A = this chain, B = another copy of it.
């Protein structure tokens, strides 16, 4: 992962992390200013433009940076587990915990290209978004293979399998958004797994 940001210099990463800091401070990405980003990153405003050509590029690339990291972390979580169910639960748990941080952009990615109303700073990143979505599908299919091998789920046409996983995931993320108790999230994870298994049998 981070393939598409592989060349990010140290300074660029400082900028991404500055934006992350702002997101965690509950700043809305549509309203953040270049000055705020520079300050959060601990650099001068002009320096931003030595590494990016527009503010929107900064934000878009930060979003992808965060998504890539998030995906990589989820994969790492799953790799620590051997069985299908444990992998699923590990991923769902990780996502739930991260959602408390504000910088989990997973839901953003899941909505993918959303009918023209994507945040403006992502308009330019459609292509990149699609690539990320394909990566997600790849991960999902690999995970499904594990389930099939264990006999927990049944192999089905790949389009269907992907739709099941993403449906369960999106429904889960929806529960994680907005105010809720910790138990709600845990229960939603439980249900998401149940949906997965039932829909794939």
A interface residues (Cβ-Cβ under 8 A, vs B): 23, 26, 28-31, 99, 102, 104, 107-108, 110-120, 123, 130, 159-160, 163-164, 166-168, 170-172, 174-179, 187-188, 191-192, 194-195, 198-199, 201
Copies in the complex: 4
Within 8 Å by CB of A111, from B26, B160, B177, lies B177
Residues of B within 8 A of A187 (CB): 159
Residues of A contacting B: mostly? helix
Q: Is the CB of B120 within 8 A of A102?
A: no
Q: Is the CB of A177 within 8 A of B113?
A: yes
- Quick one: which of A102, A107, A176 has the most chain B CB within 10 A? A107
Q: With A and B bound together, what is the CA distance between A198 and B161 in angstroms?
A: 13
Closest to A25 in B: B116
Q: Is the CB of B23 within 8 A of A116?
A: yes
